[in-house]
Amino acid sequence: MSYVIWVEFDVAAENLGRFMMLVKENAAESVRSETGCQRFDVLVPVEGEGAVALYEIYDSEAAFRDHLASPHFIEFDALTAPLVRHKTVRSYACHQNSK
């Protein structure tokens, strides 16, 4: 069973460019360096601005905790905190993977 994280960010328009650069770097580094990270997608709505969502899949909750303790995440979190108006994080258990 995989561990899925869904994160929604509300980012002010003037901060969106910097935020997107940082979140894409964090996503790429997570997939590249974390063995327990299966997938890390950065999503933006087709219409509208300021909303960014993350869809992350980990091998386990422990793998996600490792992600939170990684140097690249700690740096990302510190750099983006002032750019974000609101953030919601939800976790899910994935019982079936599709191809």
For 56-78, the DSSP string reads EEESSHHHHHHHHHSHHHHHHHH
Q: How far apart are the first and last CA of the chain?
A: 15
Does pTM surpass 0.85? yes
| Domain 2-94 class, CATH top level | alpha beta
Instruction: Determine what percent of the chain is predicted with pLDDT higher than 90.
Output: 89
The pLDDT tens digits for 20-55 are 999 999 999 999 999 999 999 999 999 877 899 999
